[in-house]
Structure 1
């Protein structure tokens, strides 16, 4: 019997709501992937509520969890590693060491780095030292990176307004030659009105642009859900451009459903959303990518 694709997901976790691992794990599991979730922080809820409890994992505790993952042989078994929000510098450095070790013992794994560090409006919401680790250590190891325009602009120290800006940022950030830069939520100078784009910039300057309707909704967990959907599609053998379209459509569906319910973050319970994820497991990706 063939084992299902295996993913190590290292990012935030909340008791209530859907952000970080609490947003990304469900779509990957629903698509039939096996998961190992390692939290970097544990909070009571997303930050859009009047109060928030919890904290970043103490470094020694986080280190112990990583050691347990090593003892179970998870780095050598993984098909994918996903990293997202990191809440302390010590943890960021340990994550970088762990990813480097995993890629050394398992050269065939795919590492997706989602540099969760800020957005237009709130600006940078991690200490600059953590953002520096993402730029200098994590992104150069990434096979795939999924920054939003604010994150890419901050990391590359230049504006992102054209596809040429994306190419320049890729060069500045020292991505591996074969890496895929997927910039999410782009509104470039030539983006059509009422649209928002995901732009894939591959090796040798190959660009793939994927516009979709711009929704008047911005909710916590959107990027985390999108990254999880990217891995779900790739793990099920869907080509990257098609995977991006699936991720866009399903993320939009989750946002629409949250808006209809008056929720303050993404909601993962909408029936067609769940059915589309199961369809990925059945390799019926055309269902997931269909019009809403």
Structure 2
């Protein structure tokens, strides 16, 4: 018998010819999980911007809208269903059960993607729509400020979002400096923007966060500093309750890697199966404890992403010394090839790690830990 696929995903993300960021970091992992993936490239660049030298074409709003229109005309975006009964009724729904959106260049192009999300969600309310609001990182915007209100409007169509801490701050207009501000930001996303599942993909482990986290979510290495770790937080809610929050710290690997957020978001979508609850994959550790579908997906995404980063780091460490030089902006500016060699050696090892992606290789499992009492006010 032919092998059944896990479903069909529409991926709307950036594309690079060389390397693994954007869709190049997302599509192959989703295919390894059994999904058919149809790809819309929002940019077509030579390589990612970390090389210093890069270029190519950016899709315009008109080009994206025309592409979506042609897909719809050819029956590739929507599919016809026949309801039987006393009368035969034809109706149309989204052909896709899943969709993922990453980097989109410019406000007008982003608006075209948002309009498509609205149409797909209207035709199929059960669409699992993962939005990775690629705004920036470490206090710096990657996109024009005009994109911010469009992302905020697009949040209502999402099933899952995967921003980093800075993107959460931008979307909610909330500086995250303590537990109270973290609660406020999640309330804004859940209550004001009606996002049911929020993943803060990475947040620096500051002293206030370490003190607030459940003990089982904190680093076990007492000799390490907070700077050696990032925290990942997931929060799931429904109309009848406050959210259920989980968290976990993961160790940072030294050096600069690109495409990590794109890979992580794809793996979250690939493992996300809405259901009341699923048994913990770490049953020996957690006993009869149940985890939310989001926490289950995030745990697998964290574990596989960290394993692939470890594989990439080990590969980079084995390169000739000329290809693993430390970051030095002044030297990089004088000798562009210096940065190019370093970036080239740190491209994600997705093909070499495909057994990790498929779950055929053993990896350290980063179980998401329930954050009991998260919403308890002092």
Fold shared, TM-score > 0.5 on shorter chain: yes
Q: 1:268 to 1:3 in 2, by over 3 A?
A: closer
Structure 2 SS opposite 1:202: strand
- What's 1:97 paired with? 115
Provide the rounded CA distance (Å) in 2 between the counterparts of 1:265 and 1:167: 35
Structure 1 SS opposite 2:231: strand
Provide the rounded CA distance (Å) in 2 between the counterparts of 1:247 and 1:30: 13
- What's 1:66 paired with? 68
Provide the rounded CA distance (Å) in 1 between the counterparts of 2:77 and 2:253: 39
Q: 1:143 to 1:83 in 2, by over 3 A?
A: same
- What's 2:172 paired with? 156
Provide the rounded CA distance (Å) in 1 between the counterparts of 2:149 and 2:365: 39
Aligned residue-pair number:
281
- What's 1:199 paired with? 233
Question: RMSD over aligned Cα, in angstroms?
Answer: 2.3
Structure 2 SS opposite 1:112: strand
Deviations 1:148-201 (A, max 9, x none): 001111221221234432331133342326x11100112252334333221011
CA contact (8 A) 1:13 1:42 kept: yes
Q: Structure 1: which 5+ runs fail to align?
A: none
1:249 equivalenced with 2:303 (yes/no):
yes
Displacement, 1:49? 1.0
Provide the rounded CA distance (Å) in 2 between the counterparts of 1:257 and 1:276: 10
Deviations 1:61-81 (A, max 9, x none): 222221133233435121111
1:277 equivalenced with 2:277 (yes/no):
no
Provide the rounded CA distance (Å) in 2 between the counterparts of 1:197 and 1:252: 13
Determine which of 265, 268, 280 is the counterpart of 2:347. Answer: 265
Q: What does 1:113-124 correspond to in 2, within 5 Å?
A: 113-120=131-138, 123-124=140-141
Of stretches 212-221 and 77-86 in structure 1, the one that deviates more from structure 2 is 212-221
Displacement, 1:108? 0.9
CA contact (8 A) 2:311 2:349 kept: yes
Of stretches 39-48 and 66-75 in structure 1, the one that deviates more from structure 2 is 66-75
Displacement, 1:289? 5.8
Q: 1:3 to 1:249 in 2, by over 3 A?
A: closer
Determine which of 120, 125, 134 is the counterpart of 1:107. Answer: 125
Displacement, 1:269? 2.5
Provide the rounded CA distance (Å) in 1 between the counterparts of 2:174 and 2:202: 17
Of stretches 158-167 and 100-109 in structure 1, the one that deviates more from structure 2 is 158-167
Q: 1:68 to 1:4 in 2, by over 3 A?
A: farther
Q: 1:80 to 1:199 in 2, by over 3 A?
A: same
CA contact (8 A) 2:179 2:209 kept: no
Structure 2 SS opposite 1:199: strand
- What's 1:88 paired with? 106
Displacement, 1:10? 0.7
1:215 equivalenced with 2:253 (yes/no):
yes
Provide the rounded CA distance (Å) in 2 between the counterparts of 1:138 and 1:252: 29
Displacement, 1:276? 2.9
Structure 1 SS opposite 2:171: helix
Provide the rounded CA distance (Å) in 2 between the counterparts of 1:163 and 1:84: 28
Displacement, 1:210? 1.9
Provide the rounded CA distance (Å) in 1 between the counterparts of 2:256 and 2:180: 27
Provide the rounded CA distance (Å) in 2 between the counterparts of 1:3 and 1:243: 18
Displacement, 1:220? 1.5
Q: What does 1:131-170 correspond to in 2, within 5 Å?
A: 131-135=148-152, 137-170=153-186
Provide the rounded CA distance (Å) in 1 between the counterparts of 2:99 and 2:52: 33
Provide the rounded CA distance (Å) in 2 between the counterparts of 1:288 and 1:105: 39
Displacement, 1:106? 0.7
Q: Based on CA coordinates, which of the two structures has the bigger radius of gyration?
A: 2
Displacement, 1:214? 2.4
